[in-house]
Structure 1
Amino acid sequence: MKKYVILLTALLLMLVVGCSKDKDENQSAKDQSNEEAVEKGVFPLTGLEGKGIDRRIVSVMVNNHAKARPQTGLSQADLVFEILAEGNITRFLALYHSEEPEVVGPVRSAREYYFDLAERYQAIYIHHGAADFISDMIKERGIDSINGSSYDNDGHLFKRDDRRQAPHNSYLQFGAVNEIAGEKGFDITETYEPLPFLTEEETEQIEGEKADRVEITYFKSPLTTVTYQYDATKDVYDRYSDGEQSVELESNQPIELSNVLIIETAHEVIDDQGRRKVDLDSGGQAYLLQKGLVQKLEWQSVEGRILPVKDGQPVGLIPGKTWINVIPTSPGLEGAVTVQ
């Protein structure tokens, strides 16, 4: 009996040491990947080279009400999530890293699934306003957040644009973000594991069905659509809201995307204001648009990040900017997305 106990203890010890070794090796590989990306100067959200790799990602809630268009600064975001906020109106979480625009906006109020995404991407979360229960959740979760309501029209971090009416006229002055974040005790530098990107050779081997024009119908009444039109001359997708091209307010610069990921997931209305709960963990069906082609894939939450997958493995993105549209499972991809 004594020998049996000794043998069992030895086996358990070997198992624990082995698991610990595997965990250490995985962490070591991840750390090495981060270090290599920083040394090469490759931005983790775009896969493109540049300077300032170690700065913190900044995420901003951007208004998409018809009265808020055209927006400012969206074309410079590395990664944008577009999700229904309430009713038939979507709202954006724009993640900035490789580029730092002077102004972003109009900025709108917080939602749980948006600040949850910001946390997953280790980003500072910037919004203007929040329901009391949302503010409590942000505080309880320890989210590194900046609420524009505390700086409303201070002229330094936020400014109101007289050309528009509230709540569609609050604009973030991006150059003040690090100063305010530092005053709050937030980290303003960070290293990130890069998203999976394709090599130039792999990019030329992408396969899929033709997808020159893809339309997402969020609502049929009132009609709410998002359209992506492939521009073969630039090898990018242009974006349209309700038939009108998405451009910068001041410069008329269009939003140009290398990747568009459309995912379906469960949505649930949680109050009489039409606010929603959105499942960003369970995975599901997805379309990936690249180079005028569409691949029918799945999506998964991989260490919190939303990625396209095939046979359980992440599918690479083309280096450049990415937009992720999140739509309800009812009507889902087949009911809401038209590919031409």
Structure 2
Amino acid sequence: MERLSDNVLPNNFSVRKKRSGKLVTLSLWVCVIAALVGCTPGSSVAEPEAEVQEPVEVSVPEPEPEPEPVVELPSEDSQTWTARWLIDRPVFVMMDNHAGARPQSGLKEALFVYEMLAEGNITRYEAVFTSTGDYEVGPIRSARPYFINRALEYDGLYVHVGGSPQAFNDLSKLKVADIDGLSAGRNIFWRRSHKKIPHNMYSTLNAIRKDADRKKYRVEPEFDVPIYAKTAAPPSEDQAGSVRLVYRQGSSGYASGYLYDEALKAYSRQVNGAPHVDELDNTPLMVTNVIIQTVRTKTVDNEGRLVMDDVGSGQGWYMSMGARIPIQWEKADRRAQTIYKTEEGTAIQLNPGVTWIQVIPQWLEPVWNEGA
């Protein structure tokens, strides 16, 4: 602050006395001094340039609070979902579905999720992510050849912990960009104490992509993006309010189901008759599209390992918005994308949203519209 020189005050400057709170003008002080020294007419006493006025209390309104920022959720349209596939090279994560592994972490962030059989009529998931994030995904389990085929369709980074002998052979022969928990460091994969081995191996997408960078895997994706409809609509008038797929019976069974919610225009995913929730925050999983794909399946060794004829063609169903249509599927080779078509031969367009692909063996019959 600039210091004022002695006996000089700027115009309109007022001083408030601390004790009395009264204002004393400069002219009053001048008169007091003149009386004390006996000034006479003609004495030159400087007058202030202007009278110092009583300050006026001004009421200044408090500033209005700034409005809260409006958080806009991404629109559920075809452009949004197409763009989500192009964020980064897809990550395909093998996820455990043993009773001791449930609930899984991170499934709510996936764009696609496949459910397929492993040994003993139990199932595993393969979740597809294109973003990054520090949330945990898992538990992560071992590789199988037909799961590898799905990652090849979308040029994916294939994430697993170990695998069958045939899977290891395929990973090498097909030069798959794989990230294996058996060879990556503990900063990439780690075990959590709240579940028992082998159902407790986790990672994050950030850690997975860090290991992909270390291995110098290509970053740019090279694949055809799924086709999304510009306007969401039921595929037909054939009702599909619910479906149940029983891979294995019993108290520790593997029964997946979908129950349509008219208000949300999506299906609530069910596991053994209860809502399927994400371990991250107990969020129930909601699904826009369900593809049921029937493939011929057979056991090939004493360990119960399977072969799935997912190259070739077959049948299935597409369901969305409470309706279904029968479909045909085609896959030219292991790297080719599976094409899902109507009975008339037109490739289906997915409604914008999350898609689950239920791959079922030839002996499994879907149970439709229970209680309808």
Task: Tell me the TM-score normalized by structure 1.
Answer: 0.80
Deviation at 1:180, TM superposition (A): 1.0
In structure 2, the residue matched to 1:251 is: 281
CA shift digits 1:176-232 (9 cap, x unpaired): 2222112112112224322121111xx236323111111112234574311101111
In structure 2, the residue matched to 1:22 is: none
In structure 2, the residue matched to 1:61 is: 94
Evaluate the alpha carbon distance shift between residue 207 and residue 99 of structure 1 in structure 2; reply closer, same or farther with a 3 A threshold.
farther
Match of 2:202 among 171, 186, 197: 171
Q: Gapped runs of 5+ residues in structure 1?
A: 1-40
In structure 1, the residue matched to 2:3 is: none
SS for the counterpart of 1:67 is: helix
Residues 1:206 and 2:235 are matched in the alignment: yes
**Is the contact made by 1:76 and 1:101 (CA closer than 8 Å) also made in structure 2?**
no
Residues 1:217 and 2:246 are matched in the alignment: yes
For the aligned residues, what is the CA RMSD?
A: 2.5
Distance in 1 between residues matched to 2:148 and 2:320, nearest whole Å: 28
Q: Which has the larger radius of gyration?
A: 2
96-105 or 60-69, larger mean C-alpha shift:
96-105
In structure 1, the residue matched to 2:301 is: 271
In structure 2, the residue matched to 1:33 is: none
**Is the contact made by 1:225 and 1:241 (CA closer than 8 Å) also made in structure 2?**
yes
Match of 1:86 among 106, 119, 141: 119
In structure 1, the residue matched to 2:353 is: 320
In structure 2, the residue matched to 1:17 is: none
Evaluate the alpha carbon distance shift between residue 328 and residue 104 of structure 1 in structure 2; reply closer, same or farther with a 3 A threshold.
same
**Is the contact made by 2:313 and 2:328 (CA closer than 8 Å) also made in structure 1?**
yes
Match of 1:262 among 292, 308, 311: 292
Deviation at 1:258, TM superposition (A): 0.9
Evaluate the alpha carbon distance shift between residue 50 and residue 98 of structure 1 in structure 2; reply closer, same or farther with a 3 A threshold.
farther
Deviation at 1:301, TM superposition (A): 2.3
Evaluate the alpha carbon distance shift between residue 108 and residue 194 of structure 1 in structure 2; reply closer, same or farther with a 3 A threshold.
same
Evaluate the alpha carbon distance shift between residue 308 and residue 199 of structure 1 in structure 2; reply closer, same or farther with a 3 A threshold.
same
Read off the aligned partner of 2:336 and give its amino acid letter: G
Evaluate the alpha carbon distance shift between residue 92 and residue 174 of structure 1 in structure 2; reply closer, same or farther with a 3 A threshold.
same
**Is the contact made by 1:300 and 1:306 (CA closer than 8 Å) also made in structure 2?**
yes
Q: Which has the higher helix share?
A: 1
CA shift digits 1:24-52 (9 cap, x unpaired): xxxxxxxxxxxxxxxxx999999526578
Number of matched residues?
A: 293
111-120 or 299-308, larger mean C-alpha shift:
299-308
In structure 2, the residue matched to 1:307 is: 339
SS for the counterpart of 1:117 is: helix
Evaluate the alpha carbon distance shift between residue 296 and residue 51 of structure 1 in structure 2; reply closer, same or farther with a 3 A threshold.
closer
In structure 2, the residue matched to 1:143 is: 176
Deviation at 1:137, TM superposition (A): 2.3
Evaluate the alpha carbon distance shift between residue 43 and residue 145 of structure 1 in structure 2; reply closer, same or farther with a 3 A threshold.
farther
Deviation at 1:238, TM superposition (A): 1.2
175-184 or 110-119, larger mean C-alpha shift:
175-184
Which structure 2 residues correspond to residues 1-340 of structure 1 after superposition, within 5 A? 48=81, 53-98=86-131, 100=133, 102-151=135-184, 154=186, 156-200=187-231, 203-204=232-233, 206-220=235-249, 223-301=253-331, 304-310=336-342, 311-331=344-364, 335-340=365-370
Task: Tell me the TM-score normalized by structure 2.
Answer: 0.73
**Is the contact made by 2:82 and 2:225 (CA closer than 8 Å) also made in structure 1?**
no
Read off the aligned partner of 1:214 and give its amino acid letter: V
Deviation at 1:120, TM superposition (A): 1.6
Evaluate the alpha carbon distance shift between residue 60 and residue 45 of structure 1 in structure 2; reply closer, same or farther with a 3 A threshold.
farther
Evaluate the alpha carbon distance shift between residue 166 and residue 301 of structure 1 in structure 2; reply closer, same or farther with a 3 A threshold.
same
Evaluate the alpha carbon distance shift between residue 317 and residue 105 of structure 1 in structure 2; reply closer, same or farther with a 3 A threshold.
same
Distance in 2 between residues matched to 1:116 and 1:45, nearest whole Å: 26
Q: Which has the higher strand share?
A: 1
Evaluate the alpha carbon distance shift between residue 102 and residue 150 of structure 1 in structure 2; reply closer, same or farther with a 3 A threshold.
same
Distance in 1 between residues matched to 2:79 and 2:287, nearest whole Å: 11
Distance in 1 between residues matched to 2:215 and 2:102, nearest whole Å: 31
Read off the aligned partner of 1:122 and give its amino acid letter: D
Distance in 1 between residues matched to 2:340 and 2:224, nearest whole Å: 16
In structure 2, the residue matched to 1:30 is: none
Deviation at 1:58, TM superposition (A): 0.6
**Is the contact made by 2:89 and 2:130 (CA closer than 8 Å) also made in structure 1?**
yes
SS for the counterpart of 1:317 is: coil
Evaluate the alpha carbon distance shift between residue 235 and residue 181 of structure 1 in structure 2; reply closer, same or farther with a 3 A threshold.
same
Distance in 1 between residues matched to 2:85 and 2:236, nearest whole Å: 34
Identity among equivalent positions (%) equals 29
CA shift digits 1:143-194 (9 cap, x unpaired): 1101101236x1x211111011111000012212222112112112224322
Evaluate the alpha carbon distance shift between residue 192 and residue 47 of structure 1 in structure 2; reply closer, same or farther with a 3 A threshold.
farther
SS for the counterpart of 1:164 is: coil
Read off the aligned partner of 1:161 and give its amino acid letter: R
**Is the contact made by 1:157 and 1:174 (CA closer than 8 Å) also made in structure 2?**
no
Q: Gapped runs of 5+ residues in structure 2?
A: 1-73
Read off the aligned partner of 1:165 and give its amino acid letter: K
Deviation at 1:67, TM superposition (A): 0.7
Deviation at 1:77, TM superposition (A): 0.6
